[in-house]
């Protein structure tokens, strides 16, 4: 009975050793599933061994424990492989577990499938076990077969197109094959009496252990924990004293004449001392073999973490990162790519400043895409087996080969990759080990946080220096840069240009704040592009920009200012949607040492030059000179409008409205009424006379496009059909089309094009909302709607004034500007505005 006892003992020891080791490991789903599989194997092996040994409580109990372990083994493999392949959770494992346990419960109760064996002593005195097998045992075989088929289908479905996963799975599949082969070999006479099934189980367990190690789920130091060293020392001591106990008894009895109890005590003390000595030797040996390198890595990692935590300079952090990698792993080259504004990864740091820096990984590069989906490091030898690598262009593969890249480490900010560390081959052309990968993963965690903090700091620093709307330097930063530039260039030359946009308040009133912001951004872009990289451009105030020009003289600065002003003047000329008012700038120039002796004088004198340009008619460039203003006016291609453009074009406007009158008398009188109501509203709102005139002109022209609408639609007595309504809505575009051809009247277009927009954004033609609608258009909307309600038309009677005012108040915030409605209703109720009736 004991001839083959050593094999199950070894199997139990191996399984128990692995179980104790992994119970102390950091847990995850794969480790937990492996622990569960080890428990099943211990049940299978231990139950069989304890049954044959006849241990307490009785043989039948251990038989059922062993049978449950054997039946649950395919379920354990199914769960382990599912977690190993990272297959999304499903309920099949739970189903099979419940089914197997139900079958085992029935078998324990009835013995219908496999009854406990009978113990029989043979002639040699050994004990053998006789099994009485009947046809119901096929239920067990079929259950196991279906579970294995389910497992095989899962492997095929999730792994046949993934070479990397299948390669990692190969040791496990080999272990399962060896385990199956071990059970098959039991039927051959050659293996009679030898537990080949248990031996195959041991091999299978260690192959799974190897697969977990290759997947980098634990370190080998896991196996040399203090508890495992104690266990191994005890086993070795037991093995030693098992063979030496008899000679020791004789030695102690002969030399010291000790009695039985004294000899037992002496041997026990000796066993304890030998065990402690063995533990100390094993611990020191394992520490030298495994832990020494890890301690060095830990110390290096601690130093690295301490250094980078004190720095917010990304170059310093990346330099420290390269140093620790080379110091710990001994790689030939390290390259670091950092994500830029375009999402590309450009090389910014390497082991040597002489290395080329032209390496770039596009944001959709297969390496980048693969790193986004995976955790930890990516080894080139594994990446080459993937579909992603095979899909790469030959040029991309050649690029990686030229740089001899062997390993990629992604620096991540949550799910986003902010940088990629690329390592070449190691100095002795060794492979990257698990310890290397584990160390790189730890370094990656620290580096990612450091780089993230550095980028956040740089972003905050840049935002504190930049104007939010234009991206230029802000006023505070402008003065800092000016002081620095003065200290550097005060002995050569330093020029300053200040550009002030003319009539920008009017521009905002005409087109709205949103269009004004767009104009500021376009002006900023023109200035930035024209000034060049060696200059500094700032948004000096709301509508003012400043350009610091190191080593520029006044003549060069003047030429630059003229060029910028010309571009700004032309930027609205080709507006696609509707004509925009041309913008002009007033420019003041001052220079050191010609016209100022310090930064304060430089700014004040440039401001003074701008002031003189404004006083002299705007739209010019002036160089400040001590004691004398030298004005260099630019001839504008188009003169700005006079004080009253309306007086010049009144005849044109009335000619157009008269043409409308021939088709629709209502439109003619309606336009005059709207012009009156809207201009009175503009006065009450606080607009200056120039803006009031613009509102009046826009009111006269707002329905000019109805000249293109068929008379049968204009004068239809009933409700318009949907098709007719769409035609009627087209009068807005017709109006714009006519006004575009009226010289210098294009400034009324924002009001005209927006007078049918609603405050809630449901109007037409552009469906803009709120204050995005130009203020003059919102005024026309109130005046237009009020006059339409109180006027008699062919399709409706006139409405009482009070009722019309009530509708205005009711629709405030929906159709009408809620700030304008109270002003207008008060004008009507106080009789400041006279009601215009046909």
Side-by-side strand order, sheet with 544-550? 536-539, 544-550, 494-501, 585-592, 620-625, 628-633
Helix, strand, coil in percent for the chain, rounding step 5? 60, 10, 25
Number of residues that make up the chain: 838
Q: Is 513 helix (H, G, I), strand (E, B) or coil?
A: helix
pLDDT tens digit sequence for 14-66: 788 788 878 877 788 888 998 999 999 899 888 988 887 888 888 899 999 99
- Which candidate, 414, 478, 483, 401, places its Cα nearest to that of 445? 414
Look at residue 632 in the predicted model and tell me its pLDDT.
37
* Per-residue pLDDT at 650: 66
Between the alpha carbon of residue 594 and those of residues 485, 554, 562, 589, 597, the distances in Å are 16, 8, 20, 11, 8
Predicted TM-score (pTM) of the model is 0.50
Tokens of 367: 């390496």
Instruction: Name the DSSP class of 26.
Output: P
Nearest to 4 by CA among 197, 237, 241, 177: 197
Phi, psi dihedral angles at 63 (to 5 degrees): -65, -45
Q: What is the pLDDT of residue 577?
A: 54
Q: How far apart are CA 471 and CA 537, in angstroms?
A: 10
pLDDT at residue 746, as a whole number: 67
pLDDT at 477: 93
| Residue with token string 């049954």 | 51
pLDDT digits (tens, 9 = 90+) for 124-178: 666 677 777 889 989 999 999 999 999 999 988 888 777 777 888 888 889 888 9
Q: What domains lie within the chain, and their CATH numbers? A: 6-218 (1.20.1070.10), 309-464 (3.30.450.40), 466-633 (3.30.70.270), 645-829 (1.10.3210.10)
C-alpha angle 341/342/346, rounded to 5°?
Answer: 85
Sign of CA dihedral 583, 584, 586, 587: positive
Edge-to-edge strand order for the sheet containing 377-379? Answer: 360-361, 345-350, 334-339, 416-424, 405-413, 377-379
Pairing relation of β-strands 334-339 and 345-350?
antiparallel
User: What is the rounded CA–CA span in Å between residue 297 and residue 342?
Assistant: 36
User: Can you list the residues of the chain whose pLDDT is less than 70?
Assistant: 1-7, 89-91, 122-127, 192-193, 216-225, 227-228, 239, 242-243, 285-294, 574-579, 626-651, 661-665, 741-746, 838
Evaluate the CA torsion angle 590, 592, 593, 596 in order and state its sign: positive
Give the position of tokens 């009020």. Answer: 786
Q: What pLDDT is stored for residue 75 in this prediction?
A: 94
State residue 627's pLDDT score.
52
The secondary structure of residue 186, as a DSSP letter, is G
């Amino acid at each position: 009975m004991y001839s083959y006892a050593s094999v199950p003992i070894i199997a139990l020891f191996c399984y128990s050793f692995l179980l104790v080791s992994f119970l102390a490991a950091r847990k995850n789903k794969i480790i937990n599933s492996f622990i569960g599989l080890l428990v099943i194997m211990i049940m299978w092996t231990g139950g069989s061994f304890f049954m044959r040994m006849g241990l307490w409580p009785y043989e039948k109990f251990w038989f059922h424990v062993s049978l449950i372990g054997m039946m649950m083994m395919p379920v354990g493999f199914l769960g382990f492989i599912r977690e190993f392949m990272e297959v999304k959770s499903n309920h099949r494992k739970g189903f099979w577990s419940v089914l197997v346990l139900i079958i085992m419960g029935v078998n324990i109760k009835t013995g219908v499938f496999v009854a406990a064996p009978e113990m029989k002593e043979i002639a040699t005195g050994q004990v053998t076990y006789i099994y009485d097998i009947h046809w119901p045992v096929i239920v067990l075989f079929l259950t196991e077969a279906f579970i294995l088929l389910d497992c095989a289908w899962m492997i095929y479905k999730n792994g046949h197109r993934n070479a990397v996963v299948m390669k990692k799975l190969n040791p496990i599949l080999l272990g399962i094959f060896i385990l199956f082969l071990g059970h098959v070999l039991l039927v051959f006479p050659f293996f009679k009496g030898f537990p080949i099934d248990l031996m195959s189980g041991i091999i299978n367990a260690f192959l799974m252990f190897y697969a977990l190690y290759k997947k980098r789920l634990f370190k080998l130091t896991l196996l040399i924990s203090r508890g495992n060293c104690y266990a191994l020392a005890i086993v070795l001591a037991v093995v030693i004293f098992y063979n030496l106990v008899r000679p020791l008894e004789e030695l102690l009895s002969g030399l010291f004449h000790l009695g039985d109890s004294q000899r037992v005590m002496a041997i026990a003390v000796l066993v304890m001392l030998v065990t402690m000595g063995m533990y100390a030797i094993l611990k020191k040996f394992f520490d030298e073999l495994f832990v020494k390198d890890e301690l060095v890595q830990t110390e290096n990692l601690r130093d690295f973490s301490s250094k980078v935590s004190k720095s917010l300079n990304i170059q310093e952090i990346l330099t420290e990162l390269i140093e620790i990698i080379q110091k710990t792993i001994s790689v030939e080259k390290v390259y670091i790519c950092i994500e830029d504004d375009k999402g590309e990864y450009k090389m910014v740091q390497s082991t040597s400043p002489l290395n080329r820096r032209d390496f770039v990984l596009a944001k959709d590069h297969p390496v980048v895409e693969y790193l986004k989906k995976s955790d930890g490091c990516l080894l080139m030898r594994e990446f080459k087996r993937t579909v992603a690598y095979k899909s790469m262009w030959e040029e991309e593969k050649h690029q990686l080969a030229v740089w001899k890249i062997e390993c990629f480490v992604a620096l991540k900010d949550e799910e986003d990759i902010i940088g990629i560390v690329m390592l070449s081959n190691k100095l002795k052309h060794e492979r990257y080990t698990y310890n290397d990968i584990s160390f790189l993963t730890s370094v990656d965690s620290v580096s990612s946080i450091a780089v993230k903090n550095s980028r956040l700091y740089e972003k905050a620093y840049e935002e504190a220096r930049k104007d939010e709307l234009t991206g230029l330097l802000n006023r505070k930063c402008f003065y800092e840069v000016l002081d620095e530039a003065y200290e550097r260039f005060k002995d050569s030359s330093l020029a300053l240009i200040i550009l002030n946009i003319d009539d920008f308040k009017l521009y905002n009133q005409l087109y709205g704040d949103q269009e004004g912001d767009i104009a500021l951004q376009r002006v900023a872009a023109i200035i930035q592009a024209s000034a060049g990289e060696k200059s500094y451009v700032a948004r000096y105030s709301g509508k003012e920009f400043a350009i610091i020009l190191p080593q520029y003289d006044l003549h060069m600065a003047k030429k630059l200012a003229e060029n910028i002003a010309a571009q700004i003047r032309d930027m609205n000329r080709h507006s696609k949607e509707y004509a925009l008012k041309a913008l002009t700038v007033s420019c003041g120039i001052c220079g050191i040492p010609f016209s100022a002796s310090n930064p304060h004088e430089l700014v004040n004198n440039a401001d003074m030059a701008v002031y003189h340009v404004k006083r002299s008619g705007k739209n010019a460039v002036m160089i400040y000179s001590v004691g004398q203003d030298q004005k260099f006016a630019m001839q504008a291609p188009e003169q700005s409008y006079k004080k009253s453009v309306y007086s010049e074009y009144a005849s044109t406007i009335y000619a157009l409205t008269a043409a409308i009158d021939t088709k629709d008398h209502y439109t003619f009188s309606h336009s005059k009424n709207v012009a009156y109501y809207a201009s009175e509203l503009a006065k009450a709102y606080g607009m200056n006379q120039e803006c009031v005139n613009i509102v009046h002109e826009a009111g006269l022209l707002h329905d000019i496009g109805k000249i293109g609408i068929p008379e049968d639609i204009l004068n239809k007595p009933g409700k318009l059909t949907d098709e007719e309504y769409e035609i009627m809505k087209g009068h807005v575009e017709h109006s714009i089309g006519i006004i575009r051809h009226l010289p210098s009247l294009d400034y009324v277009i924002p009001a005209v094009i927006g007078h049918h927009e609603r405050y809630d954004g449901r109007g037409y033609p552009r469906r803009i909302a709120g204050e995005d609608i130009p203020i003059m258009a919102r005024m026309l909307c109130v005046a237009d709607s009020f006059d339409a309600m109180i006027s008699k038309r062919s399709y409706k009677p006139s409405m009482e004034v009070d009722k019309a005012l009530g509708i205005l108040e009711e629709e405030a915030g929906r159709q009408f500007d809620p700030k304008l409605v109270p002003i207008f209703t008060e004008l009507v109720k106080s009789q400041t505005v006279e009601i215009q009736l046909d």
